Structure 1
Amino acid sequence: MTETGNGRWRRLLRVRGRSIAWVLPLVLLVGIVVADLDTPEQFRIISWIVLVPGISAAICAVWTTALFGLAAVVMYVAADSVWPDQYKAGLADFVLVAVGGLLATLAAAARIDKERQSLRMRDIADTIRRTVLRPLPPCWAGLEHAAVYLTADVDARVGGDFYDIQPGPHGTRVLVGDVQGKGLGAVETAAALLGTFREAGYHEADLATVAGRLETRMARHRLHTRALGRDVGDRFATAVLIAFPADADTGAGEGIELVNFGHEPPLAVGPCGVRELPSGDGLPLGLADLTGRLPPVRRVRLAADETLLLVTDGVTEARDRPGVFYPLVREVTRAVRADPGRAEPGRLVRRIRDGVLRHSGGRLQDDTTVFAVRRVRGAGNEALEGGRLRS
């Protein structure tokens, strides 16, 4: 996530964990008083002292701002009394400084209250994110995985992209997808699909049945939102559903099952290069009634040293200033060719994240998810048995 402006200011104004924000208004206070006493009578600047509580209101606590407001009044009176009567700044400037300090204190209180509200909303967003995208161990049910999720809206922190790994008695299932649209409606839809996946992915032996349950859930969720008067049109979700069998021969590679609901084709990334897996001809979740059938279940071979890479369209549709799309396949191929170790999930995900941000100049137009997973070498049924107990 991109650090906000307030976060950067707080970090810069802290030394060894303690705030030094008060230093700036203090230096300004002393500087104005000294300058006023050191300049000729034709250039009285003591009234500028009203800037001190104003600056404090932007970066300091309420009581600190109030103290600077009081100090500004006291220093104004002290500095002004040094000059002869004909050169005094007068009552009007005194009132300006006093009222300025009071208003600055009120402004500081309003800023602190708004920051607290923002922190509460951030905590709520983080809780929602952990609920939708539950934290997963780096090695889960015999799979090593890494993921990065960037929202187009920095303050939102959660959007319509989703992913999960569900171990079970029939193997380990993986789901990665992207709900059409934005906002809380997209988050709600993603949560509904993930809830169904976690149950069906564990209990159902046939991947086609899991796919059917997801399609049904999408249709039911759409009917429910319409009944509540929140019709957002024919909302759908692209997704890839993958099954890693429990009895895979991890030494020579394995066959995995894959159902593609109109999503970006997965990539198999290994020391030998990058290959695109079949995308299928399936429609997104929620649109099966247009054809009357679900996408087919395809069985593909995945080598033991290959990592399965899945991304949302925030990656493939990231543009630079001239409007050129991010060349995902070319960049991944170049990286793996230079260093085969970059096919490892963690390094692969970081490479794509950095590449997308660099290519787009940090201006993400859509939520962006990069997800990489591969079988842990030597992990067989024992790893899956552990996943059953923790699911």
Structure 2
Amino acid sequence: MVRKLTAFPVPWPPLLLLVACVALDAATPLDQRFDWLLAAVPALAAASCTVGATLGFGAAAIAVEVVLALVNDRLGSYLVLPLVAILAVTLAAAYASRVRLLREESLENTRSVAHTIQGIVLRPLPPAIGPMTLFVHYEAVASEARVGGDFYEALNTAHGVRVILGDVQGKGLPAVENAAVLLASFREAAYDAPDLAALAARLETSMLRHSERHPESETAERFATVVLAEFPEESPVVRIVNCGHPEPLWQRGEITRFLEPDERLPPVALASLLDGPYRWKEYPFAVGDRLVLYTDGVSEARDAAGVFYPLAARAPKWASLAAGDALDRLAADLGEYRNKGADDVAVLLIERTAGPPVKAPAQDPVQDPVQE
């Protein structure tokens, strides 16, 4: 690991202060002394320099103080106090510099761990899986964070491409832990669950077992909104189970529709509120169709006037763009639209680029859905 030791390639602030002290002292009358400012040189160096460089600036300040005393005839007792002050500040600054460097190293190690966690929890998706192309935009609400409570995954299984996107209740490390539990469950169950209803039930079981194992943990009794999507290779359709999540946006050219379920399912870990088993719904999804899955960082984003982000109205403007470019435009537009301090954002744009030689249904998925 390479650690940046200074904030500047050249430590300009302490260097400029040293030069300014000399210039001011030379340009002003003898009774106006600016050599007292030399004590600030090592203190300023401590903010951006190594311990050695800080001591070096302190030594330079002492040397300059002696030269100014010789030039201005201030030798003797007049010189003792400034030199003691500069020496004391230099030693204190060197200690402060050492503490700063240790904290920077600790912070860099923490960032490295966070980056590793992101690689485990949110693995990069390939640009194409089966007949689908996938593009992801992920943004954690904390500027220094790399991972939050939003999560996603896509796997190519014998049942087709299966995708999950969700949002865990709350923020911070407990939310990340719950997201990891759900992703681990999905990565295991997606290959053998016979349908999305069974897959959703497996996710529910994993969350409940996690809470039972750690009843006193902050992660216990949390829930997560989740949307599951399945794209069978042999049929131009998409099957969806929506567990309390914002409705996916279906797009065919400039036509957009929110894929609303027949009934609202509760979030994962709240299946006790469910009347019967999980149920999935099927919609047309032909070559060229797009599906946008997103978290509430998009659906609940507001501008300064409190107006929600109009995703369905904005999406048709980017229909002529390539899928990756369209997602980039969406992310940029969302960033300009919403207020600061909004929620985490995860957006997954999926486009079908290949399929069986079956004529796509002419209907849109809201007016005439195909349903189990």
Could you tell me the TM-score, scaled by structure 2's length? 0.89
Instruction: Give SS of 1:137's match.
Output: coil
Deviations 1:129-172 (A, max 9, x none): 11111112211233211111111112232111010001112211
Q: Could you tell me which runs of 5 or more consecutive residues in structure 1 were left unpaired when the two chains were aligned.
A: 1-6, 14-18, 249-253, 381-391
Match of 2:350 among 366, 373, 378: 373
Cα distance 1:151–1:89, how it changes in 2: closer, same or farther (>3 A)? Answer: farther
One-letter amino acid of the structure 2 residue matched with residue 360 of structure 1 = R
When the two chains are superposed, the root-mean-square deviation of aligned CA atoms in Å is 2.1
Which 4+ runs in 1 deviate beyond 6 A?
none
CA–CA separation in structure 1 for the residues paired with 2:37 and 2:156: 67
Instruction: Give SS of 1:163's match.
Output: strand
**Is 1:349 aligned with 2:327?**
yes
Q: Could you tell me which runs of 5 or more consecutive residues in structure 2 were left unpaired when the two chains were aligned.
A: 358-372
Deviations 1:109-134 (A, max 9, x none): 11111111111100111111111111
Match of 2:89 among 82, 89, 100: 100
**Is 1:80 aligned with 2:80?**
no
8 Å CA contact 1:142, 1:379 repeated in 2? no
8 Å CA contact 2:177, 2:219 repeated in 1? no
CA–CA separation in structure 2 for the residues paired with 1:190 and 1:36: 62
Question: What does residue 283 of structure 1 align with?
Answer: 266
8 Å CA contact 2:214, 2:220 repeated in 1? no
**Is 1:51 aligned with 2:63?**
no
One-letter amino acid of the structure 2 residue matched with residue 295 of structure 1 = Y
Question: What does residue 13 of structure 2 align with?
Answer: 24
CA–CA separation in structure 1 for the residues paired with 2:266 and 2:146: 28
Question: What does residue 246 of structure 1 align with?
Answer: 233
- Kindly state the Cα deviation for residue 376 of structure 1 after the two structures are TM-superposed: 2.5
CA–CA separation in structure 1 for the residues paired with 2:267 and 2:74: 82
- Describe how 1:155-194 pairs up with structure 2 within 5 A: 155-194=144-183
Cα distance 1:365–1:294, how it changes in 2: closer, same or farther (>3 A)? Answer: farther
8 Å CA contact 1:160, 1:190 repeated in 2? yes
- Kindly state the Cα deviation for residue 88 of structure 1 after the two structures are TM-superposed: 7.9
Instruction: Give SS of 1:42's match.
Output: coil
CA–CA separation in structure 2 for the residues paired with 1:157 and 1:174: 21
Deviations 1:322-355 (A, max 9, x none): 322222222223x23xxx323x331222122112
Question: What does residue 246 of structure 2 align with?
Answer: 264
One-letter amino acid of the structure 2 residue matched with residue 230 of structure 1 = S
**Is 1:121 aligned with 2:110?**
yes
8 Å CA contact 2:285, 2:352 repeated in 1? no
Identity %: 36
Question: What does residue 322 of structure 1 align with?
Answer: 305
Aligned residues: 352
Cα distance 1:137–1:28, how it changes in 2: closer, same or farther (>3 A)? Answer: same
8 Å CA contact 1:44, 1:89 repeated in 2? no
8 Å CA contact 2:286, 2:352 repeated in 1? no
Instruction: Give SS of 1:260's match.
Output: strand
